[in-house]
Structure 1
Amino acid sequence: MAEVPSLYDWLGGREVLLTLTTEFYRRVALDEILSPVFAHMDADHPAHVADFIGEVLGGPVLYDPSGDGHVRMIGHHLNKHLGETQRRRWFDLLLTTADDVGLADDPEFRSAFVGYLEWGSRLAVINSQPGVALPPSSPMPKWSWGAPGGPFISDTSA
């Protein structure tokens, strides 16, 4: 029986994610709802997001090799006061961009990918509200194919 590839490998790896995030953030800069949120992002932002998503989807640890990548990502959202309008626009624009750049579109992959984007974007909104504190630690989420117990696997040590 063949080994099941990670979502990262299935979608084509870092270069495909970098193509997606580069085009996505180009569009974000032109979007009236999202451009104010990302007005101060640096030129490396698409690469950092590609590395974060890649790690979550089973790729190499490139976002933050220290092991605190998830805490670092949470920290980027603190006190941003994001709402559902921004979350939904981010989600819709990312999926449209995924289609336009030719990201894998088979139902099994897209189901897992959309599941992660829903979960992650809703978590970003929660962590962006006033009074949320940065946790001392938080394991990097690991997302995989849907299976009994759900697609989200947070403990990969087993």
Structure 2
Amino acid sequence: MTRTTMYEFAGGLPAFEALAAAHHERCLADPVLNHPFSRRLHPEHVTRLAAYLAEVFGGPASGLDHSGMLDLHARNGMEGDLGARFVACFVRAADDAGLPADPAFRDGLRAYMEWAVGEVLAYNSPDAVVPPGQRTPHWGWDGLER
């Protein structure tokens, strides 16, 4: 028996669009995360985030790559608990978006975002250089798929 992808289990692209929108709203509402999220973002930020997350969890190719995502967030001098707050907003956004409450699914969402935040924070210093050509990671029920 073949297990569905996390993308399919969530409900496909509409589920990730709802998740991206809810996460963005939670970040705007957070008194600490508000500052980085209130600056001028790409007009299609939420749509692009949804497509990127959908691809990560087994959906169609988004045309975005991991290096681009990392470079967009690199060299920001993030301090304090920004990463933990970002993950917490993401986890709560899954509720807001009505994603399945299945514990294995929710654990996978959290584990991915914790991993992704760690990736971003690795390029936090002002002189960080993100290697080009890193493909979008794929995350499945058992974690990062190599």
Question: TM-score, normalization: structure 2?
Answer: 0.91
1:136 to 129, 132, 135: 132
Paired positions, count: 145
Distance 1:32 1:22 in 2: 18
Contact residue 22 and residue 96 of structure 2 kept, 8 A: no
Distance 1:25 1:105 in 2: 20
Equivalent position SS for 1:118: helix
2:83 maps to 87
Among all aligned residue pairs of Structure 1 and Structure 2, give the percentage whose two residues are the same amino acid.
Answer: 26
Is 1:153 matched with 2:139? no
Which structure 2 residue ranges, 5 or more long, are not aligned? none
Superposed CA RMSD in Å reads 1.5
- In our comparison, the structure showing a higher alpha carbon Rg is 1
Tell me: higher relative CO, structure 1 or 2? Use CA pairs within 8 A at least 6 residues apart. Answer: 2
Question: TM-score, normalization: structure 1?
Answer: 0.84
Distance 1:44 1:25 in 2: 12
| Equivalent position amino acid for 1:46 in 2 | V
Query: Structure 1 residue 82: deviation in Å?
Result: 1.6
Q: Note the alpha carbon deviations across 1:59-103, whole angstroms, 9 max, x for none.
A: 100242xxxx11111110121112341111111111112112221
Q: Note the alpha carbon deviations across 1:84-132, whole angstroms, 9 max, x for none.
A: 4111111111111211222111111112111111100111112222221
Which structure has the highest helix share of the two? 2
Is 1:28 matched with 2:21? no
Distance 1:24 1:110 in 2: 15
